[in-house]
Structure 1
Amino acid sequence: MNEQVTSIIHRFLTIAASSNGLGIKLIRVAILIIFVWIGGVKYYHYEADGIVPFVANSPFMNFFYDKQAPEYKEYKNAEGAYVVKNRKWHEANGTYTFAFGLGALICTIGILVFLGIFFPRIGIVGDLLAIIMTIGTLSFLITTPEVWVPNLGSGEFGFPLLSGAGRLVIKDTAILAGAVVLLSDSAQRILKQLKYKDHETI
C-alpha cells in the first residue's frame, strides 16, 4: 500500500471518527421524521384500523378498546377501503379515539427527542419515552398473531417468517438502539452542565 493510498485512508478514518456528533443529531432528526409521520397518519381511518390487531391482542393495551380480540377479525378493512358496517364497529370500539391519542403521544415524543439537539434536559425525557414506546411496540412480536405468516397451505408459516405486520414491528429494534445512544448523549451533556455549574460555585 503506497503512501498516497494510506494518506487517503487515514483522512477518511479521521473524518469518520469525528462524525459522532453529526450522527447523533441525524438520529434525532430521523426519529422526529418517523414519529411525527407515523403519529400523524394515526389521524386517518386506515391507519387506526390497521393497528387494531396489535392493541386488541396486547395485555398492556387492550383495555383501551371496548371490544376484545378476536372479534376485530370480522371487521377488518383493507387499507383505503370504506365499509360502513366495519367503520361503525370501529367507532363503537373506540378505535379512532385511541388512535388520535396515540398519534398525539407519538408526535410529542418525536418532537421532544428532536429538541434534545438544543436542550438535553428535554431530550432525555423524549429519549426515555422513545425507549419505552419502542419496547412496547416490540412486545407485539410476542402478543400479536398477525406478525407471523399464517398457515394457509404453503407450508411456510409461523416463526421466524415475519408477515407485513411483523416486518413493520421489527424495524423498532433500530429505533430502540438509536434511542439508547441518544439517552447516553443527553445524560453526558447534562452531567457536563452540572459539573460546569459546580465549578462556577467553587
Structure 2
Amino acid sequence: MKRILLAGLQFLANTQPQFINLIRIAVAIVMIWIGGLKAFHYEADGIVPFVANSPLMSFFYNKDAPEYKEYKNPEGQEVAQNIAWHEQNGTYTFSILLGLVIIAIGSMHLLGIYYSNIGLLGGLLTFIMSLVTLSFLITTPEVFVPNLGGDFPTKYYGFPFLSAAGRLVLKDVIMMVAGLIIASDSSKRILISLEK
C-alpha cells in the first residue's frame, strides 16, 4: 500500500508541468467562452451594474449609475425600450470590446503553452483583470443579498451574504491565483531558456 501511495505521489509531482498546462487550457476555455458571450445582449446587460458602479470602469458608459436599474432586461428577454437605453449608454459596444480583450487574453494562455513570453503576459493580464473584477465586491451594491423587508423579512442580507452576482465575482479569486501560477511558470521557463 505504501508503495502505491508513493508511486501516486511521484506521478503527481512529476506531472506538475502538464497540470500547469491544464490550468492554461482551463483559463483559456473560460475566458474565450465568456468573452464570446459578451457579444450578446443578455451578457452585456448583466455586467452593467459592475461597470457602472466601478470607479475604474464607469467612464466607458454614457449614463450614470444607478439609472441602469430602470432599464434592466430580465435574463433571456429583450425589451425594446431597455435595448434603446443600453445602445445610448454604450453598453453593447463596450461589452463587445471587453469580450475581444478577454478572448485575446484567453488565447494568450493557449499560446503560452509554446511561447513563454506570451504566457507570461497572459498570466499577468489575468491577474490584473481579476483584481479589477474582485474590486466589484466593494463597488457594486448588487453583490450582496438586499434587505427586501416585506412580509417575510430575513436576517440574511448584506455582508457576508453574497447574491448570485457576488458569488460570480468571488470566483475570480481562483482566476487571480491561476494567472499568478501561469506567470510564475512562464517566468521560470524564460529564465531556463536564457541560461542556455
TM-score under structure 2 length normalisation: 0.96
Superposed CA offset, 1:126-174 (max 9, x none): 1111111111100100000000000012221001000000010011101
Aligned to 1:200: none
- Output the CA distance in 2 between the equivalents of 1:10 and 1:191: 31
Instruction: Note the 1:170-181 alignment, pairs <5 A.
Output: 170-181=170-181
- Output the CA distance in 2 between the equivalents of 1:31 and 1:59: 26
- Output the CA distance in 2 between the equivalents of 1:193 and 1:7: 36
Instruction: Note the 1:22-61 alignment, pairs <5 A.
Output: 22-61=18-57
- 2:9 aligned to 3, 9, 13, which one? 13
Instruction: Note the 1:86-105 alignment, pairs <5 A.
Output: 86-105=82-101
Aligned to 2:105: 109
Paired residues in the alignment total 192
Superposed CA offset, 1:47-77 (max 9, x none): 0000000000000100000001010010011
- Output the CA distance in 2 between the equivalents of 1:9 and 1:29: 28
- Output the CA distance in 2 between the equivalents of 1:11 and 1:155: 51
Once the 2 structures are TM-superposed, how far is the Cα of residue 16 of structure 1 from its aligned partner?
A: 1.3
- Output the CA distance in 2 between the equivalents of 1:62 and 1:144: 11
Instruction: Note the 1:28-177 alignment, pairs <5 A.
Output: 28-153=24-149, 154-177=154-177
Q: Is the 8 A contact 2:117 2:190 kept in 1?
A: yes
Tell me which stretches of 4 or more aligned residues in structure 1 moved more than 3 Å. none
- Output the CA distance in 2 between the equivalents of 1:36 and 1:19: 26
TM-score under structure 1 length normalisation: 0.94
Aligned to 1:186: 186
Q: Is the 8 A contact 2:123 2:178 kept in 1?
A: no
Task: Say which one has the larger Rg.
Answer: 1
11-20 or 93-102, larger mean C-alpha shift: 11-20
Which protein, 1 or 2, shows the higher relative CO under an 8 Å CA cutoff with sep ≥ 6? 2
What SS does the corresponding residue of 1:7 show, helix, strand or coil? helix
Which AA in structure 1 matches 2:112? G
The alignment yields a C-alpha RMSD, in angstroms, of 0.7
Which AA in structure 2 matches 1:42? K
Unaligned regions of 5+ residues in structure 1, if any?
A: 197-202
